[in-house]
Amino acid sequence: MKNLTLNKILNHIKINRDTFENEMKKLRTGKEWEQFIEKWFKVSKWPRKNYIEVFDELEKRKPFKKACFKWYPFSRTTKIPPELAFEYERALDILRNKLDPKMHRRLYARKEGRACAYCSIYAKSTKPKKCPVCGRQLFYTRITED
């Protein structure tokens, strides 16, 4: 039933795509940004994974090489459909760029990684532009281990 709710959120975004994009264009402040994210994504209602679920998921998935880069799996702490994860990361990326374009550029210029929110994989390189598995846009990611 929980997944049904998350799919409803996703469908709501898809059906109201123009409204969604127009509202995003009008956001100016951090407060409006927060309200927009909660209104559309309802993040506080996302079901969470426990540590064992996260650990088990990462145990099952192994790093692989594709399109000249090594891709590592990561696990979200929330149970959400991959498409919703992508929409959410995309919105955050656009909003971060609007609120602080200088910081946004700096984050992308750092020698860190690129991640696919849909596939839950990342590369320790800033070079890949599209995900080699699904073809979606990649986002900046911080790399904590080596």
| Interacting residue ranges for Zn ion, rule: CB under 5 A | 116, 118-119, 131, 133-134, 136
48 Cβ contact partners less than 8 Å away, ≥ 6 residues apart: 77, 78, 79
> Residue 45 or 66: which CB sits closer to Zn ion?
66
* Least CB distance to Zn ion at residue 72 (A): 13
Q: How far apart are the first and last CA of the chain?
A: 38
> Residue 6 or 123: which CB sits closer to Zn ion?
123
DSSP H/E element including 38: helix 30-41
Name the token pair of 25: 């264009």
> Residue 54 or 82: which CB sits closer to Zn ion?
82
> Residue 33 or 113: which CB sits closer to Zn ion?
113
* Least CB distance to Zn ion at residue 136 (A): 5
Cβ atoms of 71 and 132 within 8 Å: the answer is yes
C-alpha 56/C-alpha 41 separation (Å) is 26
* Least CB distance to Zn ion at residue 120 (A): 8
> Residue 99 or 134: which CB sits closer to Zn ion?
134
Cβ atoms of 49 and 76 within 8 Å: the answer is yes
Name the token pair of 144: 């904590």
* Least CB distance to Zn ion at residue 69 (A): 13
Q: Which residue is nearest to Zn ion (CB)?
A: 131
* Least CB distance to Zn ion at residue 135 (A): 7
